[in-house]
Amino acid sequence: MRSSLPTITEKMAVASNFPEPDQPLRAMYSALLAAYGTRQWWPADTPFEVILGAFLTQATAWRSVERSIANLRAAGLLTVEGIRTITEEALRKVIRPSGFVMRKAASIKTFVRFLDEHYCGSLEQMAKQTTAVLRPQLLALPGVGPETADAILLYALGHPVFVVDEYFRRVVTRHELLSANARYADMQSLGDRAIASTTREETARHGNELHALIVEVGKQHCGTVPRCEGCPLQPFLP
Ligand code: SF4
């Protein structure tokens, strides 16, 4: 990931399709962008690698996911065909660094079966499905909760949805934009409003960017114990 400050062009690219901040989260987004610059997310080379990462990262640190992804790469399994042909038992061994291998191997194999049955094994075909149809389909699969479904929709398939994760939950509740017991849908609605743009592609780009920036501020400042001193979002505290 880059850590340099954004160029003027990058700032203008965001501003050009983005109305003036009319809500706190949009203003916070601008502040994060000014502090950290545009991010390069998700850390993966292909849409299918994004999907594998979305399953593997559940309840697991990304460092462990990277080891599993490296194992999958070494075994030539970072493809739909690779996962289609490997047995579930063998897959468990390859993804062992990520933990919860019984559940994760089963979920990954089921996802590929679903892809084969509904979209002829084609992620391109799946991406063309409407969000309104595809999101419930994904949520009906074992091992796919809202965060995993939305990460697949946004980062692998380019759908304009916002991904809510623990970092986002921490930031918006500590800034009292929502209460601590807010539902995933309420959190997502807040994020969706902040990324709403003039086109589907722009909205997806802002969804990608805002989520990545929230993860960055979460890693640097807003962990289990907040370190507000020097945080780009400190001026927005209530
Ligand atoms: S560390 Fe403090 S200022 Fe920064 S996002 Fe968290 S609560 Fe806000």
Residue 23: what pLDDT?
82
- Ligand 1 close to Cβ of residue 77 (< 6 A): no
Q: What is the pTM of this model?
A: 0.87
Distance 165 CA to ligand 1 centre (A): 15
Which of the following CATH numbers is that of domain 8-38+161-236: 3.40.1130, 3.90.660, 2.120.10, 1.10.1670?
Answer: 1.10.1670
Q: Which CATH class is domain 47-156?
A: mainly alpha
161 C-alpha to ligand 1 centroid (Å): 24
CA dihedral of residues 82, 90, 109, 83 (deg, nearest 10): 0
Which residues, at least 6 apart from 167, have a Cβ–Cβ distance to it below 8 Å?
214, 215, 217, 218, 219, 222
Query: What does the DSSP 8-state code read for residue 225?
Result: S
Question: Are 8-38+161-236 and 47-156 the same fold in CATH?
Answer: no
Distance spanning both ends of the chain, measured CA to CA: 30
| pLDDT tens figures, 142-195 | 999 999 999 999 999 999 999 999 999 999 999 999 998 999 999 999 999 999
Query: Along the chain (238 residues), what's the average pLDDT of each consecutive run of 10 residues?
Result: 34 42 84 91 88 94 93 96 97 97 98 98 97 98 96 95 95 95 95 93 94 95 96 96
Query: What is the domain partition of the chain in residue ranges?
Result: 8-38+161-236, 47-156
Q: What is the pLDDT of residue 22?
A: 54
For the CA of 227, the closest atom of ligand 1 is: 1
